[in-house]
Structure 1
Amino acid sequence: MRVEIIPCLQDNYSYLIINENNNDACVVDPSEAKPIIDFIKKNNINLKYILNTHHHFDHIGGNKELKKKYNATVVGFKNDAQRIPEIDVLVEDNQLWKRDNFEVKIIHIPGHTTGHICFYFFNEKLLFSGDTLFSLGCGKIFEGTYEDMFESLNKIKKLPEDIYIYCGHEYTLQNSKFCIEQDPDNLDLQNKIAKIIKDIKNNIPTVPSTLKDEKECNVFLRAKNVESFSKLRDLKDNF
């Protein structure tokens, strides 16, 4: 399997997970159809599945066009059946979803929205975290509670440290400015920021990150309890 990062809209990322044996693919969170169609045409990809982490338009905007064009199957959380367009397969927390050579664990991670999930390709050590966990950040709490988001991040923290995390947006540089203000003596964070600046200067995506990196550098994952997490989230909202 290989992952192709597809920039969409202003700062979104969609991801193609491609089986290199036959070029079958899943797309995670197609914000818009055109960049994905362009890549598929150029590389002779067979789009089979559309995986949505949550219902926000900048994550599902390409669903209808891609499903119509490729007869792809749309997969999303069962409680968001009315909010995800063209949904075909309803999945739930801790479910193993397996089709063709794609095998995924579904993890329900509410907070940003009540129906947010992530897709954990455990064999390949890939986690698609949508807008719950960003590199050096976490999502705004729109529908859930501080407790929801804190518990969701703790679910992710319990996964193997060597997994690669693919998040929904290129927010890393801005997130890093907040993290270093809260944690100025963190040498791991200082080193990560140097790499982030270099990557952005060279027009290279700052994702994926590893869970190990995030646990060392992301102040939201380093919060010890809901109270300290809540304070950080409030400070970030006004940063």
Structure 2
Amino acid sequence: MLQVHQFPCLSDNYGFLIRDEATGTVASIDTPDAGAIARQLDDLGWPLHLILNTHWHPDHVGGNAQLKQRFDCEVVGPAGERDRIPGIDRVVDEGDVVDVGASRAQVLHTPGHTLGHVVYHFADQQRAFVGDTLFAMGCGRLFEGSAEQMWASLSRLRAWPDATRLYCAHEYTQANARFALSVDGENSALRARAREVDAQRARGEPTVPTTLALERATNPFLRADDAALQAALDMPDAPPASAFGELRRRKDAF
């Protein structure tokens, strides 16, 4: 089994250190802040064997070089972004497997936020590290990809089992909830969740990880093919990717 150690860093990122209990192998999911990650490793008494990058943005790869120099760890990242990831040793793409000790992650290529973005799905343990593809009640901006690409990527994640725990890279949930209510305000599950998120943040608690069941019920970006939501967008019977694109456009301007 994997231990997951989560901690805040930078302004709204999360760091994730994962440790395979059977072997003691440790990986960092992305490297938003090398200093913060190193301090957490020191406090835990853990080494660092692997860095698993989801995409090239600086708040996800900025600590690669410093951590690699200190820990002599292997840097793994998406094949489509190899030229933009510092210190990369091994590239991965759709269908590849990454072993963290005895724990095995399946790699999915999820273009949309960036063209090469990948996620790491520990299917046997129902855990996934989704970078900036999916957020609690949100999704990543389309910096490089299209609405069609992102909808296809999210649709693949949506097909996972309900109990899948999703480790998103940012604490954006309160803002995402406000937008979700603006387009899906009749959703009672969403209203209840928004209240709970406000309470969690008031207590200083993280809202990550989330579960796929919760996202399917309350995340408008996973519900672009839902008739009620399409009606609220005044887009009845629209192709889901078109409705998704309209949601993303509205969120960008919200």
Tell me, yes or no, whether TM beats 0.5: yes
* TM tier relative to shorter chain: over 0.9
Q: What is the aligned partner in structure 1 of residue 37 from structure 2?
A: 36
How far has the Cα of 1:207 moved from its partner? 0.4
CA distance in 2, matches of 1:232, 1:181: 11
Q: How many residues align?
A: 239
- Indicate the larger mover: 92-101 or 79-88: 92-101
Provide the TM-score with structure 1 as the length reference.
0.97
How far has the Cα of 1:60 moved from its partner? 0.4
Per-residue Cα deviation, 1:124-154 (whole angstroms, up to 9, x for no partner): 2111111110000011001111101110100
| Aligned residue among 225, 228, 232 for 2:243 | 228
Q: What is the aligned partner in structure 2 of residue 206 from structure 1?
A: 207
Per-residue Cα deviation, 1:143-199 (whole angstroms, up to 9, x for no partner): 111101110100101111110001111000000000011111111111211221111
Does the 8 Å CA contact 2:32/2:61 hold for their aligned counterparts?
Answer: yes
CA distance in 1, matches of 2:251, 2:197: 19
How far has the Cα of 1:23 moved from its partner? 3.8
Does the 8 Å CA contact 1:23/1:44 hold for their aligned counterparts?
Answer: no
| Equivalent AA in structure 1 for residue 249 of structure 2 | D
| Equivalent AA in structure 2 for residue 8 of structure 1 | C
Structure 1 residues 135, 99: closer, same or farther in 2, change over 3 A? Answer: closer
Q: Rg larger in 1 or in 2?
A: 2
How far has the Cα of 1:20 moved from its partner? 3.2
CA distance in 1, matches of 2:23, 2:42: 15
Q: How large is the Cα RMSD of the aligned pairs?
A: 1.1
Does the 8 Å CA contact 2:129/2:167 hold for their aligned counterparts?
Answer: yes
Residue 170 of structure 1 aligns to a residue whose secondary structure is coil
| 1:56-205 → structure 2 map (5 Å cutoff) | 56-205=57-206
CA distance in 1, matches of 2:30, 2:197: 24
Does the 8 Å CA contact 1:50/1:73 hold for their aligned counterparts?
Answer: yes
CA distance in 1, matches of 2:107, 2:30: 15
